[in-house]
Amino acid sequence: MDEFEKRLKRDADAIQAEVSPELRERIDASIRAAEPVRPVTPAAEHPPVNPWWASSLTGLAAAVIVIVLVNWNRPEPVTVPAEPVASVTVPADPDPVARPPMLDIRTADFTSPLEDELVRLQSDLEKARESVKKDLDFTF
């Protein structure tokens, strides 16, 4: 036994506990009044309820409500028949003064600025890579 257990036993032996006769009678009366514990029969267990269908229906109902509210009182789309540009015809004998100016239609070139920027970014990345290699004195 270690020292701690010895001290605990010594302290327990030193405790002087006395129960008065009145307290003893109350304890005994309490014990006699208590009913024996009857074993409780377990209720039949039901399989756990899986509420996936309820949450699915709730989500579906919420989606339908949102769609209805978004589309509520939406104005009817106005459909304008679009004429293709090629169908515009010029009269065979136009008056040179009254003739509308012809439109010069060209395809817009949106990709060349992006390609130029990509080349510049790749160049910057290569310069940064070379700088890091030089700083680390690490060669491939």
Report d(CA 83, CA 87) in Å as an integer.
7
Higher pLDDT, 126 or 134: 126
Higher pLDDT, 44 or 117: 117
pLDDT (0 to 100) of residue 29: 86
- Whether the predicted pLDDT of 5 surpasses 80: yes
Is there a domain that residue 82 lies in? no
End-to-end CA gap in the chain? 69
Length of the chain: 140
Is there a domain that residue 110 lies in? no
pLDDT (0 to 100) of residue 83: 58
Is there a domain that residue 129 lies in? no
**Residue 7, domain extent:** 3-33
Q: Which of 23-37, 39-53, 96-110 has the largest mean confidence?
A: 23-37
85 touches 105 (CB < 8 A): yes
CA 77 vs CA 15, 73, 74, 111: distances in Å: 94, 12, 9, 33
Query: Mean pLDDT, the chain, as a whole number?
Result: 76
- Cβ contacts of residue 133 below 8 Å, gap of 6+? 139, 140
Per residue in 22-33, pLDDT tens? 888 888 888 888
Is there a domain that residue 23 lies in? yes
Full-model pTM: 0.24
Is there a domain that residue 19 lies in? yes
3-state SS assignment for residue 105: coil
- Quote the tokens at residue 33: 């009044």
DSSP state of 41: P
Is there a domain that residue 66 lies in? no
The pLDDT confidence band at residue 67, using thresholds 50, 70 and 90, is confident
Amino acid type, 86:
A
Is there a domain that residue 27 lies in? yes
Is there a domain that residue 15 lies in? yes
The tally of domains found in the chain comes to 1
DSSP state of 81: P
pLDDT (0 to 100) of residue 59: 85
